[in-house]
């Protein structure tokens, strides 16, 4: 802001004031665009951080769930299925059980084994997903 006062030969002059207004400033559009780009980048960064945390959280809980399933199989389901099949086989060989009973026990045993292997594969996949989410997965 500029102020100008004149006083010549005892005559008081007038005050003049000048305030620059950026009405015709050609850079205002670029400044606004740059501010928008900065804000957009900050929001993108925030969203990416939230996605990473969400991925890590989901991968962790998926791993825990699959670990619990594998532990259920290891804690007794596999040995029970093996024992049931062995008992049915022993009974069939001695003539105390029919072939259908033995085949049913064999089918149950194989189904349990397949389910265990699927649970183990899901656990290992969840482990790799967690490693990828936290960035510790080694490149092949």
Residue 6 predicted with pLDDT over 80: no
Which pLDDT belongs to residue 2? Answer: 53
* Confidence band, pLDDT 50/70/90 cuts, at residue 57: very high
pTM reported for the whole predicted model? 0.66
**Alpha carbon distance 74, 123 (integer Å):** 13
Residue 73 predicted with pLDDT over 70: yes
Mean pLDDT of 81-102: 94
Counting beta carbons within 10 angstroms of the beta carbon of residue 23, is it exposed (0 to 12), middle (13 to 18) or buried (19 or more)? exposed
**Alpha carbon distance 115, 74 (integer Å):** 12
Which pLDDT belongs to residue 136? Answer: 83
């Amino acid at each position: 802001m500029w102020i100008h006062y004149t006083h010549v030969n005892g005559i008081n002059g007038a005050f003049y004031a000048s305030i620059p207004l950026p009405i015709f400033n050609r850079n205002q559009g670029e400044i606004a665009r740059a501010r928008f780009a900065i804000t957009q980048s900050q929001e993108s960064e925030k969203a990416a951080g939230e996605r990473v945390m969400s991925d890590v959280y989901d991968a962790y809980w998926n791993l825990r769930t699959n670990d619990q399933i594998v532990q259920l199989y290891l804690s007794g389901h596999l040995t029970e299925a093996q024992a049931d099949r062995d008992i049915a086989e022993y009974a069939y060989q001695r003539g105390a059980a029919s072939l259908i009973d033995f085949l049913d026990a064999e089918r149950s045993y194989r189904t349990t084994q397949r389910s265990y292997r699927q649970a183990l594969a899901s656990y290992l996949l969840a482990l790799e997903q967690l490693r990828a989410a936290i960035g510790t997965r080694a490149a092949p």
